[in-house]
Amino acid sequence: MTTSFGAANTAIARDPNVHIATSFNGFKNTSNSLFLSKRMHVLPSFSASAECPTSIIRAVSTPVKPDTSAEPKRSKVEIIKEHSNYIRYPLNEELSTDAPNINEAATQLIKFHGSYQQYNRDERGARSYSFMLRTKNPCGKVSNKLYTVMDDLADEFGIGTLRLTTRQTFQLHGVLKKDLKTVMNTIIKNMGSTLGACGDLNRNVLAPAAPYARTEYLFAQKTAENIAALLTPQSGFYYDMWVDGEKIMSAEPPEVVKARNDNSHGTNFPDSPEPIYGTQFLPRKFKVAVTVPTDNSVDIFTNDVGVVVVSDADGEPQGFNIYVGGGMGRTHRLETTFARLAEPLGYVPKEDILYVVKAIVVTQRENGRRDDRKYSRMKYLLSSWGIEKFRTVVEQYYGRKFEPCRQLPEWEFKSYLGWHEQGDGGLFCGLHVDNGRVKGTMKKTLREIIEKYNLNVRITPNQNIILCDIRKAWKRQITTALAQGGLLQPSYVEPLNLTAMSCPALPLCPLAITEAERGIPDILKRVRAVFEKVGLKYGESVVIRVTGCPNGCARPYMAELGLVGDGPNSYQIWLGGTPNQTSLAKPFKDKVKLHDLEKVLEPLFYYWKHKRLSKESFGDFTIRMGTEKLQMLLDKWEGVPQGASRLNLNLFADKETYEAIDSLARLQDKSPHQLAMEVIRKFVASHQNGKIE
């Protein structure tokens, strides 16, 4: 049976041109020979826009295949994959039983099909099992037909909601086992897919969701789609399971087929139904994002591979900067696990991008750890090897040397909310969706507009949605309909909500330690109250992300203020990310109880207001001050000095006005006071700017 272990280890040992540093970071010593004797720690920080080290261009050799006489230690999941007949058995048998759930092996395998088994943790007694389905939508693209199908499936087979994810996909919760095949079959036959949305393989490939008719944006999106196609499983297990072997796929670009089949540098398993993945697939999940210079809407440095389009002076794409080794997941109280930013690997010409991505995937396939899944992401391989050794091995599978990365401008976070010109005569409208949960009146309104105007949509990496290809004549009526459904233009949305994210967490996620999605609305209201108490202006904001566990699905380690669940109603506080998502936050406090949140936030925000530099963000302020100084300020905090807060006037003189504002506020999950203040501030700002009509 075809396996996939350790090819490059032997190649490195035999290559006299490869220098292996003696001081690289390893794991704590154990009796297992796979571990290294030195303790792992996070590598020194670097500028996200720094150039790669220069290197001499020379021919490189094909890696030597390994000596397989010694069987390496493997995790239980690796053994399940090996005996699964390419992700089929025993899932195929488990799906045919009358039980509401599937066994442990099948639970691992169904992830590759894009589904997780879950149960409602709010309920006591016997577990009520259901399944979460996650789609795969490269670039976040969703056709009009697929959107309406997903909307229908949510009502008929799910819990009546759609969840937009941080990787530009849908999640459909609450599907019963008996309905799985019907739901999967329907998605596939409407040109959707869930294949590879979960599991140990390449996940959904991110790209800027904005439907600009600009050369570099179109090129980035096409590249993302080609990478997704290149790394899609080929053995047919998905279609065998859900559409009885009928393979419903559009024709692949010839450059994708050519790159997948190329084995000139020992990347493939010859005659295998999975030429890139083999029987074992990858050690863990693998994430790729593609973007253009300045546009960090995709959190480029949090991915295993970040691909950035590089164009010439005329705007014509010439190649790509490649970044490697990002990842968010970690384990509490285990310092050898950590969040990490991707670092520069090199520049490649545009025609080589598929071969380079394939070479990186194969390097991880052959060398990523398969004995302990906590250390199986590619970021740990980068941290133990170092970038130079990693680059050398990738070059062997690529067959060429990397050029130095090209210099790039500063990154910006771009939300694409509101109305924008596409550049082809049409408009697009970005809509904020709190925590990505499409439900209730909002869900009904979106469906009606998308159906009436036959619109395609895009899902953003910030859990929002974009309506595309809108005629200018439709703008007014669509704006009105959206507002009536609670989908307001960004200037009318609470600023803290615009950049906030959370994972679903309780009640369905089995990994959640505490609340995230259900808890963040109240947390944001409390943060706003602290802002008002310490005198911060309404328009000021910080990037807040909340997760129910340390796995980091909502990328909390990039937030200016990250709350990571570490116990029931308890969070670890992270500080120091930046608004443009280029710096990693640092842990500040553990075990902060939810009811004690103001005791931490009040002094932090007060001193940010009074001690910050000009235009200094909250994240930059906390990094400049440092953990020890901030803790000292907390220790001596005695409350907001008298007169520091702004006036908080009584807004409602009669019950009727209050009740009218309250009903509107409920549609937006706000308090009446919050909504009234937003309207007043907007009116005052418009009047001051001479915009009142």
**φ/ψ of residue 407, rounded to 5:** -70, 140
Q: What is the pLDDT of residue 10?
A: 34
- In this prediction the pTM is 0.86
Extract the tokens encoding 174. 């609450």
Closest CA to 191 of 131, 241, 138: 138
**φ/ψ of residue 12, rounded to 5:** -65, -45
Burial of 469 (0-12, 13-18, 19+ CB in 10 A): middle
**φ/ψ of residue 503, rounded to 5:** -90, 165
Largest CA distance in the chain: 84
- Write a three-state SS string for 151-168: HHHHHHHCCCCEEECCCC
Burial of 22 (0-12, 13-18, 19+ CB in 10 A): exposed
- For CA atoms 533, 536, 537, 541, the dihedral sign is negative
Q: What is the pLDDT of residue 670?
A: 72
d(CA 201, CA 220): 21
Extract the tokens encoding 657. 């006005």
Q: What is the pLDDT of residue 39?
A: 30
Question: How many degrees, rounded to 5, is the angle at CA 306 between CA 434 and CA 356?
Answer: 145
Extract the tokens encoding 576. 């120091």
d(CA 672, CA 662): 5
Q: What is the pLDDT of residue 62?
A: 53
Residue 209 CA, chain-centre distance (Å), reads: 13
d(CA 136, CA 141): 9
CB of 559 closer than 8 Å to CB of 546? no
User: Rounded mean pLDDT of the chain?
Assistant: 89
d(CA 147, CA 166): 17
* C-beta neighbour count of 166 within 10 angstroms: 24
307 pLDDT more than 60? yes
- For 346, the 3-state DSSP assignment is strand
Q: What share of the chain is helix, strand, coil (3-state, %, to 5)?
A: 35, 15, 50
Extract the tokens encoding 515. 């609340």
Distances (CA, A) of 530 to 508, 602, 644, 647, 676: 31, 6, 12, 13, 18
User: What is the separation, in whole angstroms, between the first and last Cα of the chain?
Assistant: 73
Which of 74-88, 225-239, 540-554, 642-656 has the lowest average pLDDT?
642-656
Question: How many degrees, rounded to 5, is the angle at CA 503 between CA 498 and CA 507?
Answer: 130
Each residue's pLDDT tens digit, 416-475: 999 999 999 999 999 999 999 999 999 999 999 999 999 999 999 999 999 999 999 999
DSSP, residue by residue, 482-497: HHHTT---GGGS-HHH
Closest CA to 432 of 492, 346, 383, 384: 492
d(CA 340, CA 326): 5
Burial of 471 (0-12, 13-18, 19+ CB in 10 A): exposed
d(CA 529, CA 375): 41
Q: What is the pLDDT of residue 337?
A: 98
**What residues contact residue 567 under an 8 Å CB cut-off, 6+ apart?**
513, 514, 591
Extract the tokens encoding 445. 């309104």
CB of 288 closer than 8 Å to CB of 206? yes
Q: What percent of the chain has pLDDT over 70?
A: 86
**What residues contact residue 28 under an 8 Å CB cut-off, 6+ apart?**
35, 39, 40, 336
Residue range 279-299: average pLDDT? 98
Q: How confident is the model at residue 68 (pLDDT cuts 50, 70, 90)?
A: low
Instruction: Say which DSSP state 340 is in.
Output: B
Closest CA to 602 of 542, 527, 497: 527
CB of 358 closer than 8 Å to CB of 230? yes
Each residue's pLDDT tens digit, 31-60: 332 222 333 333 334 444 444 443 333 345
- For 144, the 3-state DSSP assignment is helix
Q: Name the strand (E) or helix (H) holding 525.
A: helix 520-534
Closest CA to 288 of 405, 194, 202, 198: 202
* C-beta neighbour count of 615 within 10 angstroms: 6
Extract the tokens encoding 687. 């009047």
Q: Name the strand (E) or helix (H) holding 184.
A: helix 180-189
Each residue's pLDDT tens digit, 509-518: 999 999 999 9
Token pair 């590759």 is found at 112
13 pLDDT more than 60? no
d(CA 66, CA 123): 51
CB of 378 closer than 8 Å to CB of 35? no
Q: How confident is the model at residue 537 (pLDDT cuts 50, 70, 90)?
A: very high
Q: How confident is the model at residue 17 (pLDDT cuts 50, 70, 90)?
A: very low
Q: Which residues are catalytic?
A: 134, 203, 285, 287, 503, 509, 549, 553
- For CA atoms 248, 253, 254, 260, the dihedral sign is negative
Q: What is the pLDDT of residue 14?
A: 33
Query: Which residues sit opposite 14 in a β-bridge?
Result: none
Each residue's pLDDT tens digit, 541-575: 999 999 999 999 999 999 999 999 999 999 999 99
Residue range 664-689: average pLDDT? 71
Q: What is the pLDDT of residue 248?
A: 77
Residue range 172-176: average pLDDT? 98
Cis peptide before 90 (omega within 30 of 0): yes
Extract the tokens encoding 516. 């995230």
d(CA 277, CA 284): 12
Residue range 528-546: average pLDDT? 96
Token pair 């439709």 is found at 474
**What residues contact residue 371 under an 8 Å CB cut-off, 6+ apart?**
32, 34, 72, 73, 74, 75
User: Which residue stretches of 303-439 are H helix?
Assistant: 353-367, 378-385, 387-398
Instruction: Say which DSSP state 412 is in.
Output: B
d(CA 680, CA 651): 10
Extract the tokens encoding 458. 């895009």
Q: How confident is the model at residue 688 (pLDDT cuts 50, 70, 90)?
A: low
- For 129, the 3-state DSSP assignment is strand
